Amino acid sequence: MSHSLSKKFTFGSLLMFAMPTTIMMVVMSLYTIVDGVFVSRFVSTNALSSINIVYPIINIVLGLSVMLSTGSSAIVAKKMGEGRPDSARGTFTIIILLNIGAGLIIAILGNLFATPLSLLLGSSEVLLKDCVTYLRWQLAFAPALMLQIQFQMYFVTEGRPGIGLFLTLLAGVTNAVLDYVLIVPMGLGIAGAAIATVTGYMIPAVIGLVYFSYARNSLWLVRPSMEKGELKDTCINGSSEMVTNLSSGIITFLFNLAMMHFAGEDGVAAITIIQYSQFLLNALFMGFSQGVSPVISFNYGSGNQQQLGQVFKTSLIFTLVTSAATFLLAQFGGSIVVGIFAEPGSPVYGLARHGFTIFAFSFLFSGFTIFASALFTALSDGRISAVISFVRTFGLIITSLMVLPFLIGVDGVWLAIPIAELGGLLLSIHYMKKYRGTYHYA
């Protein structure tokens, strides 16, 4: 049993427990953002657009890994709460093997079809070479990316989020240093950005494999085993996270098409800057939600309703306060954020700065929806979690993106996310009220 998960959590101790994972997610989000800064400043804004063009494919890889990792970690933490550590370790091991196998298949197929995939995603002839270069490097290291995601989740499940944080920080620093070295003095362009990023993936992936091979705390590699129907439960339970990442890829694709239509390559660069900001600020909510999820799963499995209620209450307070603070930061610091990527006075800067003032309203609502989805995943109710994610993303965002821009022009692109996040908030409140008597979290 994990003593870290079984202890009594106060408001402060829960925040401290979740802090390493929160920081870890923010640092992870900086991987791509740091690439973007160096690429836009030292290569070109067209190269920045190329990264965003192919990112939907990377979202699919992330979605698959997050589905397997979050779906299984809820099951593993629940088993630990039920006093079945051996079964938990068998499930943990087989998920690692599934991640590696899926990553290898993606690496091979992705490199074979990088050019047609780039064209399918809307690359112009101007952007094609950079799209193919970045995509091939990223997909070649898909197994490392997938293992990195899994180990981040399972360091938390084991009650040792500090180890995951250290490895993520080490990977982030490595990525940033290599970005400078490979892009600026060595002049490798977008290939340098890709190499820096995948090197960052390798650090937590390799060290995580070594750690879980030899450590003997709560989780370690054993003979792989999985109970009947458990893989199905893992996929269903993690389906909301898969939906979120898949929809993120589709949304990026639609954003790119809309902005290419209204403003060409400059428009794609502008929406890329906005999405980087969204990725970074939402990482705060995602990291916290992932940090508290094993605690929710453990206490649900052990039947400790009092502790479950305390964790739920603390999470709501953190989410609401942080949402307001994030919105204010986005509104008043938007010019600084946009200025990191684009020169003030340039067409890209003007488009992005205007869009950011509208887009920032989404941060008032997104944190609550992210936590609600993670809550039901942690309670092993993947169905409700998936409904929240599906309606919020595939339903509301995609519908908004397909309708609003053609009614009110480019401002419709910026409004699509805030409107969808508001709808997701209302749906999340509905389900939280409906199922509080079933799961006893409030």
pLDDT for 248 beyond 80: no
Q: Give the model's confidence band at 337: pLDDT under 50 very low, under 70 low, under 90 confident, else very high.
A: confident
Per-residue pLDDT, averaged over 226-235, amounts to 80
Contact yes or no for 144/114 (Cβ under 8 A): no
Per-residue pLDDT, averaged over 55-82, amounts to 84
In this prediction, residue 425 carries a pLDDT of: 93
Nearest Cα to Cα of residue 188 among 179, 175, 197: 179
pLDDT for 137 beyond 90: yes
DSSP H or E run through 319: helix 305-341
* Number of domains making up the chain: 1
Q: Give the model's confidence band at 5: pLDDT under 50 very low, under 70 low, under 90 confident, else very high.
A: low
Q: What are phi and psi of 7, to 5 degrees?
A: -70, 165
In this prediction, residue 154 carries a pLDDT of: 85
Q: Give the model's confidence band at 2: pLDDT under 50 very low, under 70 low, under 90 confident, else very high.
A: very low
Q: How far is 163 from 374, CA to CA, in rounded Å? A: 22
**What is the span of the domain harbouring residue 32?**
3-439
> How is residue 276 written in tokens?
């980087």
How much is the mean pLDDT over the chain? 85
Q: How far is 135 from 138, CA to CA, in rounded Å? A: 5
Contact yes or no for 272/348 (Cβ under 8 A): no
Report the first-to-last Cα separation within the chain, whole angstroms. 25
Cβ atoms within 10 Å, residue 306: 10
Q: How far is 135 from 197, CA to CA, in rounded Å? A: 12
pLDDT tens sequence across 270-322: 888 888 788 777 888 888 888 888 888 888 877 888 888 888 898 999 999 99
Largest CA distance in the chain: 61
pLDDT tens sequence across 96-134: 999 999 999 999 999 999 999 999 888 878 889 999 999
In this prediction, residue 247 carries a pLDDT of: 72
User: Position of tokens 């893989």?
Assistant: 231
In this prediction, residue 142 carries a pLDDT of: 94
Contact yes or no for 22/371 (Cβ under 8 A): no
More confident residue, 218 or 384: 384
> How is residue 285 written in tokens?
């909510």
Per-residue pLDDT, averaged over 230-256, amounts to 77
Nearest Cα to Cα of residue 168 among 208, 139, 195: 208
